[in-house]
Each structure stands twice: as structure tokens, then as C-alpha cells.
Amino acid sequence: MFDVPLGRLVPDYIKRFEAYIPSKPDPELMKLYNVGHLWRLNNNENPLGPPEGSARIIEGFPPPRASIYPSGDSYYLRARLAEMFGLDPDQIIFGNGANEAIAFVIKAFCQEGDNIITADRTFAVYEWVAEFSGFEARLVPLKDFGFDDEGMLARIDERTKVLFVCNPNNPTGTYWDEPRLRRFLDAIAGRQIVVVDEAYCEFVEAPDYPDAMRLLKEYPNLVTFRTFSKMYGLAGLRIGYLAGGRDVVDVIRRTCIVYSVNTVAQDAALAAIGDNEHVLRTRRHVKDEKAYLLRELGGLGLETQAGEGCYVMVKLPLSDTLAYRQLMAKGVMIRTMTGFRFPNWIRVSVGVHEAMEAFVEGLAGILRERGTI
């Protein structure tokens, strides 16, 4: 694959790893598929955009500040969140999106021969970061579309360092309630780091959903991830964070790259904190549009999987990649699930109502052409 001398320089685990290729920019996709508009229903973005306070920060950012480095450790953001969650600011680390926080944790605790454990059909970045860093990713099959706690515990050995639980899970929307999460943490008994990824926690309305932030004081080996990309509509600014026990976070901080979170992202996130009206407005929108989507998909005779979160999975009677191309030709962009190990399933983000209608109409047309409805 590689010519000498490059081949001798590249580790075997990098040679085996296939790079993730992101989609082209929307204008290029629109030209490729010959459409005048593209509804983005592939990345679980907030269709309402950022809160008003964040929007004002973005619109009014003074250009001279672009020449000045941002706060290297997101000082004011950490202070504000620490106040809100009853933590010490030094228990919080910000990163350039939650993806960077994942890398911080794996690099902090894993060395050659170590492994991490997560599910086989969840947010793929846990697996990817471990594998391209030279560590084994042990993948436990989902059980009833949810994380299998007993299966994960059974895969632990003396080289296991970190276990990742996406709660609620992306893409299935399933979650562990507090008793189940506590049982899992009690079984681990501090021997490994447990990461609970709560990227979609603000969308959850189930009363038995656990708040990992509240559990940090009881479980010093617990780390939780959160983000401003989803509920707070700041995906384009790339800002997420982790929180954990002081000793654990002190170790993780050694792997951090300072200045990785830009000034606009920090200011916009700070303005978003505490905007409960934005959260409630988004929840109402997601609830209403998800109900519409499930009703329409049920009418088409399709199987769905929809738990918590701002997305719905749909099982199709055709290839998910074929459905992607045919929907793109109708100006609708969804997420294929083969890469999540769910062949012939797609994931649809909740968008504005017009986008939901366009998706339903487009999918119904495809199914009618195939004679399946």
C-alpha cells in the first residue's frame, strides 16, 4: 500500500484504519444532485439555531479580537459551569467539540496493549480514537437497542482502562436509568474509568434519566461529556466539555491542547448557559415533530426506533445507501446506518416541519416507485 520509506514509518494500526471522509459542502452536493435546496437531516443539528444571546455574540464579534488568542482553558466558562453544577472549576475541561474530549481521556489512560470497551452500534468516535491510537476497542453488541451492561462487564480484563456509555445512545435513543447506571458503577468499583456521554441529555424528558453530574461526588472514576453542539445549536463553533473527579481530571488535563477552543465559541457558549426558554422551546419542537414523523412513518408501514434525543431511526425495505442517493435527488439529506452496523436503516434528525414533510413525501415516493406501499 505504501512505498518505501513511508511504509516503514507508518504503524500497522494506522495502515489498517480507514479515514473517515466527510460529505462535501452543501453547495457542492446541491450541484452534484441538481437540487435547489437541501434539507440537512443527517447531523442532529438544532433546527432552531442557537439561543438569542449566543446569536448576538456571533453577530457582534469584533474583528480585532480575532488577532488575540482565546482563553487557553476556557476560564470563564469553567467558572460558570462549576457554579451551576456545584463543582470546582478544575473539575471541568473544554475541548474543540466532544471529539477532542474523547481523545483527551483515551490518551490520558491508555498505553500499548490496553483496551477500551463500548457498544458495537453507538457513536463511532470512541472506537475510532482508540483504534487509530493503537489501542483495542472491544465492542459489545447492543441488547434491545440499548447498551448491555452485563456484556460490557464480562469483557473487562486487566488491560481495560476506559468504558464508554452513550446515554442516551446515538443512534437508538435508548438510555440507562439511574439504578442501572449505579449498578454498573458499583460493579466497576473504581477499577476503570467510566465515561458517560450525555451529548443529548438536554433533550431527555424521561423522569428516571440519571444526571451524571450529580453522581461525580459519589464515583471518583466517573467522567461525563456534554456539548454545546446539539441543544444549544453551536455545532459550527465546535465546543464541548468533560467533567469528573478532581484527581481524574488532573490526569486528563495533561493530554489537553491549550487554545483549542476559539473565542467566539467560548463567548457564545457562555451566553447560552441558563437559557431555559431555548431548551424548552427546542424540546417542544422536537416532541411535536418526532410525533408527526412517527405517525407518518407508521402510516407507510415502516419499522422505527425512537427513544430520547432529536433523531429517529427507520428500517427500510431497500439499501440505506440507495435511499440516501434517491433522497438527495429530492433535496433531503439523511444519515445512512450501515456505518453504525445497522444495514438498511437510516437515521433522521428532527428538523423544521417543512423538512419533515419533504422527507416523508420523498421517502413515500421512493417506496411507491418500488411498489412497497
pLDDT tens digits for range 330-370: 999 999 999 899 999 999 999 999 999 999 999 999 999 98
Task: With a cut of 80, say whether residue 4 has pLDDT above it.
Answer: no
Percent of the chain with pLDDT over 90: 92
Res 20: pLDDT: 84
**C-alpha–C-alpha distance, residues 198 and 123, integer Å:** 12
Q: 296-332: per-residue pLDDT in tens? A: 999 999 999 999 999 999 999 999 999 999 999 999 9
b/e map of 250-272 (b: 16 or more CB within 10 Å)? eebeeebeeebbbbbbbbbbbbb
- Which residues, 6+ apart, have CB-to-CB distance to 167 below 8 Å? 147, 175, 176, 181, 196, 197, 198, 201, 210, 212
**C-alpha–C-alpha distance, residues 135 and 150, integer Å:** 22
The stretch 2-24 carries a mean pLDDT of 83
Give helix 263-272 / helix 52-59 axis angle, nearest 10°.
150
Whether residue 103 contacts residue 129, with contact meaning beta carbons closer than 8 Å, is answered with yes
3-state SS, residue 164 = strand
**C-alpha–C-alpha distance, residues 257 and 104, integer Å:** 9
Question: Among positive and negative, which fits the CA dihedral 76, 80, 83, 87?
Answer: negative
**C-alpha–C-alpha distance, residues 271 and 86, integer Å:** 19
Res 1: pLDDT: 56
Within the chain, all domains assigned CATH 3.90.1150.10 are found at 6-49+276-370
Res 98: pLDDT: 86
Res 7: pLDDT: 79
Whether residue 189 contacts residue 163, with contact meaning beta carbons closer than 8 Å, is answered with no
Res 267: pLDDT: 98
Q: What is the DSSP letter of 257?
A: P
Whether residue 346 contacts residue 274, with contact meaning beta carbons closer than 8 Å, is answered with no
Res 372: pLDDT: 84
Q: Please name the CATH architecture into which domain 52-272 falls.
A: 3-Layer(aba) Sandwich (3.40)
Which three cell numbers mark 354? 417543512
Of the pLDDT bands very low, low, confident and very high (cuts 50, 70, 90), residue 17 is confident
Exposure of 90 in the CB half-sphere (CA atoms within 13 A): 6
Res 371: pLDDT: 82
Considering the chain, what is the average pLDDT of its residues?
96
Exposure of 330 in the CB half-sphere (CA atoms within 13 A): 20
Q: Which has more pLDDT, 80 or 2?
A: 80
The CATH number of domain 6-49+276-370, selected from 3.40.50.1820, 3.40.50.720, 3.90.1150.10, 3.30.200.20: 3.90.1150.10
Exposure of 27 in the CB half-sphere (CA atoms within 13 A): 0
Give helix 320-328 / helix 353-370 axis angle, nearest 10°.
120
Res 41: pLDDT: 98
The stretch 240-262 carries a mean pLDDT of 96
Burial of residue 168 (CB within 10 Å: 0-12, 13-18, 19+) is: buried
Within the chain, all domains assigned CATH 3.40.640.10 are found at 52-272
Task: With a cut of 90, say whether residue 21 has pLDDT above it.
Answer: no
Q: How many angstroms from the chain centroid is the CA of residue 54? A: 21
Of the pLDDT bands very low, low, confident and very high (cuts 50, 70, 90), residue 19 is confident
Q: Which has more pLDDT, 223 or 18?
A: 223
Instruction: Write down the pTM of the prediction.
Output: 0.95
Task: Count how many residues are written for the chain.
Answer: 373
Q: Which has more pLDDT, 6 or 99?
A: 99
Res 92: pLDDT: 98
Burial of residue 283 (CB within 10 Å: 0-12, 13-18, 19+) is: middle
